[in-house]
A and B are shown apart, each in its own frame.
Chain A
Amino acid sequence: QSVLTQPPSVSAAPGQKVTISCSGSSSNIGNNYVAWYQQLPGTAPKVLIYENNKRPSGIPDRFSGSKSGTSATLGITGLQTGDEADYYCGTWDSSLSVGMFGGGTKLTVL
């Protein structure tokens, strides 16, 4: 059971928008930056969002991130079949002095 809570799965049609939530506490999300990662089957994770809402170079602006209090959200617009993957939030926990990931959310583009 992860300290960071994500929905196990989300789905939407091509071209539509989806959001993925990540809920934590004051010791992790509440006081630390959040990153979001995409993991395609059989590959290494890739960072999509860092410092809550920043995109690395090469990540399209269809991907966005936000944070409010002890929760964070990843948004994906203009869904494509190639977006089907597992998505993870990640942050640091200042009380435990460890990094952590959410349980992951499987995105299905119908």
Chain B
Amino acid sequence: EVQLVESGGGLVQPGGSLRLSCAVSGFTFSDYWMTWVRHAPGKGLEWVANVDRDGSEKHYVDSVEGRFTISRDNAKNSLYLQMNSLRAEDTAVYFCARTGGSNKCDFWGQGTLVTVSS
């Protein structure tokens, strides 16, 4: 059974940092691209970043470029999102998703809540 479990969310002050993790099981992690997606309160889904199978190719939405870093450890079956210089507008539930061919996000975690507030 495919499972993705996010962790690391919480309350952080503006300008602070957090590192999200996504532990996966039930599939060969190194065979898939992975994506982070967020859902801010009262808003729609926002694609945040993705990473290729070996971690060498990464893409970011403009609003997080230079502040967030996506990475993965295939030996640990884990995906990460390092978030620095956090802003109030980064407040959201963050989901990790397995990304199959054609960029479809076919399996999702349950999400972890990040709240940026003083």
Contact = CB atoms under 8 A, between A and B. Distances in A.
Interface of A: 2, 32-33, 35, 37, 39, 44-47, 50-51, 56, 86, 88, 90-92, 97-104
Given A101-B45, A102-B44, A104-B45, A47 B106 contact: yes
B60 to A, nearest CB: 7
B44 A2 contact: yes
B54 interface: no
A104 B44 contact: yes
Majority secondary structure of chain B interface residues (helix, strand, loop or mixed): strand
Contacts, number: 66
A104 B104 CA distance: 17
A32 B102 CA distance: 8
A56 B106 contact: yes
A50 B104 contact: yes
Interface residues of B, number: 23
B14 to A, nearest CB: 24
A19 to B, nearest CB: 19
Interface string B34-50: 01010100001111001
Interface string B94-118: 0100001011111011110000000
A44 B22 CA distance: 14
Interface of B: 35, 37, 39, 44-47, 50, 59-62, 95, 100, 102-106, 108-111
A33 B102 contact: yes
A91 B104 CA distance: 8
Given A98-B60, A101-B47, 6 more contacts: A35-B104, A37-B105, A44-B95, A45-B95, A50-B102, A90-B103
